[in-house]
Amino acid sequence: MSFIVPEGYQLGAAAPKSGLPQKRPILYPRQTMRHIIGILLQNEAGALNRVAGLFSNRGYNIESLSVAPTKDPTVSRITLVTAGSDAVVQQIVSQLNKLIDVLKVDDMTRGEHLERELALLKLRVNAEQIGALQGAVSQSGGRVLDATPETFIVEITGNEGEINAFIVEIAKQGELTEVVRSGALGLARDGRTLRVKQ
């Protein structure tokens, strides 16, 4: 018996639990990869909604999203992170390019790129821990913005993995009460630039 395997899935080789023959195959998503997508779009009401709507209407998840104006105030740059196979992300890029407000799209993860994220963390700590905690934060490349026991606030910048590791370590030294993350920002390291030609 043959089955049609949907795009983005592969057949799984799992033995049936009952001793009966399997009537339906088990489908597993192909290996997914995290993608950082840069989008230039016209800075108009509803433009961001249309981009987000494209993702939700097609069942794609946005892991993080950051928006700010460029040097041209009529153009905004979105940096968003999503996950999917190369084929799925290529389809997303193709659909984004069809939106009327979108000027340019680039999947930065298809080449060498830099990624940074800002995180602000608030902890409740014992007063006698503050000195050691300030040293640990400084050693990790972070900055202490408020050093009171009730609101010990830290700023850290790094890639997603570095931020995640820092959060795990600092949570061991106090009660982590709040985490705010900017989401990833990225730039291609090669000659690619995400800009609109004048």
Output the pLDDT for position 31.
66
CA dihedral (111, 9, 64, 139) positive or negative: negative
Output the pLDDT for position 10.
46
Tell me the domains of the chain and their CATH numbers. 33-111 (3.30.70.260), 114-185 (3.30.70.1150)
CA dihedral (48, 50, 56, 62) positive or negative: negative
Mean pLDDT by 10 residues, the chain (198 residues): 47 40 46 88 91 87 92 93 87 91 91 92 93 92 94 94 93 93 90 77
Output the pLDDT for position 37.
94
Instruction: Tell me the whole-structure pTM to 2 decimals.
Output: 0.75
Output the pLDDT for position 16.
38
Q: Which residue type occupies 129? A: Q
Strand blocks (E) in the chain: 9-12, 26-29, 33-42, 62-69, 75-84, 102-107, 113-124, 143-147, 152-158, 175-181, 185-188
Output the pLDDT for position 57.
85
| Tokens 């892991």 belong to residue | 63
